Amino acid sequence: MSRTLTPEEAQVLQALDEGRRVTVADLANELGIDQAKISAAAIGLGGDELIRVEEEEYAEWVLKEEAAGALKSGTPERRILLALLDHNGSGSMAEVPGWAGLEPKVVGQSLRGLADRGWVEKKGKDLEVTDQGRAERDVKGPDEQLIELLDRLGGAALESSIVLTDGGEAGIAPDDLERAKALIGKKSPFVERKTRVHRWLSATDAGAKLRAKGVEATREVSQLTPELLSSGEWRNVKFKPYDINLDTEPFQVGKRHPLQRVIESTRQVFIEMGFEEAVSPYVESGFWDFDALFQPQDHPAREMQDTFYMESPSRTELPDAGLVDAVRATHETGGDTGSVGWRYKWDTEKARQTVLRTHTTATTIRELAKNPNGPRKIFSIGRVFRRETIDYKHLPIFFQVDGIIIDKTASFSSLLGTLAAFYERMGFEKFTFRPGFFPYTEPSVEVFIWHEEKQDWFEMGGSGIFRPEVTEPLGCTEPVLAWGLGLDRLAMLLHDRSDIRDLYISDLEWLRTEPRCR
Amino acid sequence: MPVIGVPTEELRRRVGDEVQGEKLLDVLGNLGCDVEGFATLRRPQCNRCGFIMELAGQEDVPPQCANCGTDLRDVDGAITELDPLEVVRMELLAVRPDMFDPAGLARAIRGVLDLDVGPVEYQVEGVAAKLRVDPSVRRPESLRPHIACAVIEGVNLDHDSIKSLMKLQENLHWALGRNRKHASIGVYDLDSWDGSLEFEYTTEPPDYAFVPLGAEAGETPWSLERILEEHPKGTAYRNLLDGFDRYPVLRTQGGQVLSMPPIINSEKTKVHLGTRRFFIDVTGSGARIVQRTLSILATSILEYHHGSKLRAVELIDATDPDDAGSTRTLTTPDLTPQEMEIDADRTARLLGVEMSASDLQHRMLQMRHGASLGKGSNVKVLVPAFRNDILHERDLMEDAAIAYGYANIVPTRVETVTTGKELPTTTAAGAVRDVLVGMGYLEILTLTLTSHELSDGLLGLGAHPQTVIVGNPISQEQTQLRTSLLSGLLHTFARNRHNALPQRIFEVGEVSFLAPESETGALETLHFAFGSIAPKVGFADVRAEAESLLRDLGIGLRLERADVPFLIPGRGAYLLTEDGRRLGVFGEVHPAVLERLGLQNPAVLLEALVPTKEVPGVYRSLA
């Protein structure tokens, strides 16, 4: 059996006992299922030659609503006959409607019926009752008998059930039925003969065999519904298979930004390595952004063309005078740090200038000043600002992670090891360290990571050990490892973007479809 | 950083055949050079002044000679194409001007490769000339009271060596001179005048005239004023002499002008193929930078021109390097090395490597310092006069690390255990992100710099009184820090009009306000904002989401009607805390705002503080 049966098909087949022949209507009654569904099942089963479907025509007589008047006062023909007989058997077409209580139009329409019955003849403008008319004054015609019979039977009956074959009572003789049919004609206001088709169903051999084996019903559904579940009916249904390759509506996901995920991974790695997170304002003083980091006041990074200076707020407070003097001395002569210093005149006003911080080293140096005693590990992730025109490689704003380790045992080798651990955790296996040069670290190192797909080295940022000229004025005598690494470039490498603007001026379709990691 | 091209043939000649290709790139990288790779340059030469241009790939010959201004395109025979040149391209390493030219670079490479260690003893062989410094160069506003000079004899020049010298000069101007502001250099053919070896450094009024480099005498004299107005170098550098009514002039006692520092040399004294002796001057604002620049230039020339001799110049009435107000006689150049000490134990500890005093001594010699063992772990170091970057023992430790090789240092970890901790604001922002992602919002990041027109202006608001304003913005679109995240959401919708709806986005980030009570005068507040745009979205949607979100953050929904210009009247609300502080705002975006951005669908927005227990803030974006 290649085909599963629907529940209706199964029920129909189940009902067709060996040798049984039953109509759709009867089966519908019996099973309590709508006839249309039985018919559909029958067509299905018939198509597979599991059952035979035989059609048989039959007639049914039905009383119409208008028959009520005729049953009460007689048919128009009967009323015209009686009215004429009351007036000596003759009257004009003008008089008869009044006598019979009928519309003139109805009287006109009845002339044919009166003639067919042989009751009345029309002579000129007069109607005259015939002898037959007089004889049948009290004899019911076959049509009248039929109407009354149908009325008694509840208004409708199968023709086969009312034809008297052996002279019974509640019925009509076959001759009378034929005469009645003739008198009623095709259009009667009182009765109607409807012809219908019975579908007789019976099992074929194949059907009987299947039935004997036991029939399993499965309904095909497209959607599992609460009703199917609560009724347990889901066991009997078949779920319509879908075309699994058909496109579906794109799903509207919610997710974090790729760069944000890089930020979060970065944060997690440093926290796991024992670092405490720190933060500081975007607007920074020249003092903390540059001077405290031993960047001379004429350093190119401090020029107007590279750094954003503020109109408002235009000037900042400086920390306590002792610290400011120590920084000044270090710049001018090296102070007590053993350095020769930059040998120029340090200007307090330049230290008071407000800038948008150019690195988050401003954050870590503030932390170092707050508490210069190790062991401490601090990190900060935040936006930094450089006066760059926007293009595919540059934005005036990007994210950095800065970190410091203040520890008596810290060394250049542990700096390299810490950076290596970070990039390993971020998924890079190969990195290299090259000398770098920054005003505030010595020795300094630049970190490069190897990108396997691109087959190239990428510079990730700078690091080193803070110079004594940086740490000692803050009261710190331990080695301080420090680094500032760009996160945007890392995100671009991890997400294969070549235009940095994609990160901040985003196409939502990209954000929606970009995998969490490549 | 400018990118320079060092001729590989020059390097090969000086460091040997084995240091080529990848090996060369590696050595340079290990010295700290930011190397781009190899390139071949075309070299058209200006026939008028001899200047050699270097052009990469398909680059066109410039319309004018960068040196003398001669029109190169329309004049037949204006240029001669020299043989192409292979170079290794790298960023100029500003802290090591002694490595700017092939000769200086080779000196460093030979050291780290152990081909040549220890200092190069450059001799200054007696005074060759005298120069008198006029007091007028010390006027208070003068940028160039200091001068240092030298004479070099016995040079043999060709096009390449002239080009190399010009590039070295240019790069020193950039790196040490800060574009000639702090120091500017002049190199002259000492045999181009009457043989006078007596000079003066003085000032002259604007009508004083001489023929500048690349110019012809002509009928109109080249007054100092005309040079500043018409000569390409004059217009390029005249800002350095702003506010002066007399200009610096260097000349022989016989009246032959050598140059007008820091602008231009004279045509007559220029260096050419036949030049055998140089007169060199460096003028500038600080004694140290002027002397150091001269030392670096002179030693690089000596290194380049084997067999050349360096001779001193006596400077009479020179500005005292230690006291700019007084004068004394100086003899320059001064190549006396700087005496320093470095401790091997401290160095080993800082670098995290094994290093004995004699190991360290050798590392110092590799870096071309003089070095001798002192007491215990001490090493005495003589830093050559061409090093400009050694301020502290720590700088020598870095030299030791470079000679040791960063690649040979074994990475370790600090063993001290500390406890990691994130900031409360980070935790709070993470909670907000979790909730919004759960609600199906896509995170965006936008730039923190904006303008009033693009932010509050777009929302129909006046300028926020606490706006943090940039003094030197790079564009009209980035004149201030943002005071709200809302416009970022709206601009993102506008940029994504071509993408499918609905669009549901959020941002968590800082907004900035002036904070006169704080140290730097401005502070950030952490906000979050979300918004949706879709054919059917309205107040009820955002209200339901606000309620759900706040419930997740442990805050009840308390509302106050918000009548703000960017929300439809009657469809905006402030979020309040239990004690009635404003926490944020939300509602249905006003059609006028949508229309301004060309948006054709309704949108809703919400912005609020990221709530933390520690910071009981107030939503101030609509102050």
In this structure, are B39 and B187 located in the same domain? Answer: no
Residue B46 distance to chain A (closest CA, Å): 33
Query: What is the structure's pLDDT at A169?
Result: 61
Which single residue is written with the structure tokens 């904002």?
Answer: B529
| B618 falls within a domain | no
For the domain bounded by A63-197, which CATH number is listed? 1.10.10.10
Test mutation, B414, B416, B467, B492, chain A, max A CBs within 10 A: B414
Crossing angle of helices B102-112 and B357-366, rounded to 10°: 160
Residue that finishes a domain, picked among B289, B310, B330 = B330
Query: Measured between CB atoms, does A374 come within 8 Å of chain B?
Result: yes
| B273 falls within a domain | yes
Chain A residues near residue B481 by CB distance under 8 angstroms? 282-283, 356
Whether residue B615 is predicted with pLDDT greater than 80 in this model: the reply is: no
Q: Are the C-beta atoms of residues B439 and B532 closer than 8 Å to each other?
A: no
In this structure, are B355 and B317 located in the same domain? Answer: no
The mean pLDDT value of chain B amounts to 92
Cis peptide bond prior to B262, omega within 30° of 0? yes
In this structure, are B326 and B348 located in the same domain? Answer: no
Which residues of chain B from 26 to 55 reach within 8 Å of chain A, CB to CB? Answer: 29-32
* Residue among B212, B201, B203 at smallest CA distance from B234: B212
Strand boundaries in B333-487, DSSP class E = 338-343, 370-373, 378-383, 442-443, 449-450, 469-470, 480-481
Q: Are the C-beta atoms of residues B205 and B245 closer than 8 Å to each other?
A: yes
Query: Measured between CB atoms, does B100 come within 8 Å of chain A?
Result: no
d(CA A23, CA A12): 11
Domain interval for residue B86: 3-112
* Residue among B526, B482, B534 at smallest CA distance from B505: B534
| B467 falls within a domain | yes
Distance of CA A232 to the CA centre of its chain: 26
For A329, phi and psi rounded to 5 degrees? -60, -40
d(CA B28, CA B50): 31
In this structure, are B390 and B244 located in the same domain? Answer: no
Residue that finishes a domain, picked among B67, B83, B112 = B112
Amino acid at residue number A290: F
Test mutation, A282, A401, A476, chain B, max B CBs within 10 A: A282
Whether residue B573 is predicted with pLDDT greater than 70 in this model: the reply is: yes
| B385 falls within a domain | yes
Q: Are the C-beta atoms of residues B221 and B214 closer than 8 Å to each other?
A: no
d(CA B530, CA B537): 13
* Residue among B514, B440, B487 at smallest CA distance from B596: B487
* Residue among B129, B535, B101, B469 at smallest CA distance from B298: B101
Question: Contact A413/B353, CB-based, under 8 Å?
Answer: yes
pLDDT tens, N- to C-terminus, chain A (518 residues): 446 777 788 888 888 888 888 988 888 888 888 888 888 888 888 888 889 988 888 888 888 888 888 888 888 888 888 888 888 888 888 888 888 888 888 888 888 888 888 888 888 888 888 888 888 888 888 888 888 888 888 888 888 778 776 655 667 888 888 888 888 777 778 888 888 888 889 889 888 888 888 776 677 787 899 998 999 888 878 787 777 888 888 888 899 999 999 999 999 999 999 999 999 999 999 999 999 999 999 888 898 889 999 999 998 989 999 999 999 999 999 999 999 999 889 999 999 999 999 999 999 999 999 999 989 999 999 999 999 988 888 899 999 999 999 999 999 999 999 999 999 999 888 989 999 999 999 999 999 998 888 888 888 899 999 999 999 999 999 999 999 999 999 999 888 888 999 999 889 999 999 887 65
Number of A/B CB contacts below 8 angstroms equals 270
In this structure, of A34-43, A401-410, B122-131, B580-589, the range with the lowest mean pLDDT score is: A34-43
In this structure, are B17 and B154 located in the same domain? Answer: no
Test mutation, A248, A249, A252, chain B, max B CBs within 10 A: A252
Residue A157 distance to chain B (closest CA, Å): 60
d(CA A393, CA A384): 16
Query: What is the structure's pLDDT at A2?
Result: 44
Higher pLDDT pick, A278 / B244: A278
| B622 falls within a domain | no
d(CA B404, CA A443): 12
The domain segmentation of chain A, as residue ranges, is 7-56+200-239, 63-197, 258-283+357-513
Query: Measured between CB atoms, does A344 come within 8 Å of chain B?
Result: yes
CATH architecture of the domain with residue range A258-283+357-513:
2-Layer Sandwich (3.30)
Chain B residues near residue A275 by CB distance under 8 angstroms? 418, 420
Query: Measured between CB atoms, does B408 come within 8 Å of chain A?
Result: no
- For A105, other C-beta atoms within 10 Å of its C-beta total 9
d(CA B309, CA B155): 8
Q: Are the C-beta atoms of residues B196 and B252 closer than 8 Å to each other?
A: yes
Residue of B395, B406, B503 lying closest to A434 (CB–CB) = B406
Residue that finishes a domain, picked among B87, B112, B137 = B112
CATH number of the domain where residue B377 is located? 3.30.56.10
3-state secondary structure at position A12: helix
In this structure, are B290 and B310 located in the same domain? Answer: yes
d(CA B617, CA B583): 8
* Residue among B243, B248, B278 at smallest CA distance from B262: B248
Which residues of chain A from 113 to 152 reach within 8 Å of chain B, CB to CB? Answer: none
Report the relative pairing of strands B338-343 and B603-609 from DSSP bridges. Answer: unpaired
Contacts of residue B270, defined as CB under 8 A and 6 or more positions apart, other chains included, come to B49, B188, B189, B192, B213
Contacts of residue B60, defined as CB under 8 A and 6 or more positions apart, other chains included, come to none
Rounded-to-5 percentages of helix, strand, coil across chain B? 25, 30, 45
In this structure, are B148 and B235 located in the same domain? Answer: yes
DSSP string, B312-357: EEEEEEEEETTEEEEEEEEEE---PPEEEEEEHHHHHHHHTS---H
| B419 falls within a domain | no
In this structure, are B98 and B130 located in the same domain? Answer: no
In this structure, are B585 and B461 located in the same domain? Answer: yes
Residue B96: exposed, middle, or buried by beta-carbon count in 10 A (0-12, 13-18, 19+)? Answer: buried
Whether residue B614 is predicted with pLDDT greater than 70 in this model: the reply is: no
Q: Which residues of B300-328 are buried (b: 16+ CB within 10 A; e: fewer)?
A: bbbbbbeebbbbbbbbebbbbbeebeebe
Range B323-345 average pLDDT: 93
ipTM: 0.92
* Residue among B148, B183, B137, B193 at smallest CA distance from B284: B183
SS (HEC) of A348-372: HHHHHEEEECCCCHHHHHHHHHHCC
Question: Contact A308/B426, CB-based, under 8 Å?
Answer: no
Q: How many domains does chain B have?
A: 4
Report the relative pairing of strands B198-204 and B183-189 from DSSP bridges. Answer: unpaired
The nearest alpha carbon in chain B to A320 belongs to: B519
What is A7-56+200-239's CATH topology? Answer: Arc Repressor Mutant, subunit A (1.10.10)
DSSP string, B98-148: GGSSHHHHHHHHHHHTTSS-S-----EEEEEEEEEEPGGGG-TT-S--EEE
- Is A258-283+357-513 the same fold as A7-56+200-239? no
Question: Contact A338/B504, CB-based, under 8 Å?
Answer: no
Distances (CA, A) of B412 to A411, A418, A447: 9, 7, 16
In this structure, are B47 and B140 located in the same domain? Answer: no
Query: What is the structure's pLDDT at A25?
Result: 86
Residue of B95, B401, B420 lying closest to A276 (CB–CB) = B420
Chain B residues near residue A300 by CB distance under 8 angstroms? 178
User: What length is written for chain A?
Assistant: 518
In this structure, are B479 and B401 located in the same domain? Answer: no
Q: Read off the pLDDT band of B457 (50, 70, 90).
A: very high
d(CA B550, CA B584): 11
| B623 falls within a domain | no
| B81 falls within a domain | yes
Chain A residues near residue B520 by CB distance under 8 angstroms? 281, 283-285, 313, 316-317, 354
d(CA B96, CA B115): 20
Q: Are the C-beta atoms of residues B576 and B592 closer than 8 Å to each other?
A: no
Query: Measured between CB atoms, does B523 come within 8 Å of chain A?
Result: yes
Distances (CA, A) of A36 to A12, A29, B296: 13, 12, 107
Distances (CA, A) of A399 to A107, A265, A504, B455: 105, 14, 11, 22
Q: Are the C-beta atoms of residues A375 and A272 closer than 8 Å to each other?
A: no
Residue of A275, A281, A418 lying closest to B413 (CB–CB) = A418
Which 8-state DSSP code applies to residue A155?
S
Higher pLDDT pick, B538 / A452: B538
Residue of A298, A416, A419 lying closest to B178 (CB–CB) = A298
In this structure, are B65 and B134 located in the same domain? Answer: no
d(CA B1, CA A437): 13
Residue B75 distance to chain A (closest CA, Å): 38
Kindly state the helix (H) or strand (E) to which residue A45 belongs, with its residue range.
Answer: helix A35-47
Q: How many CA atoms lie within 13 A of B296 on its CB side?
A: 30
Whether residue B539 is predicted with pLDDT greater than 80 in this model: the reply is: yes
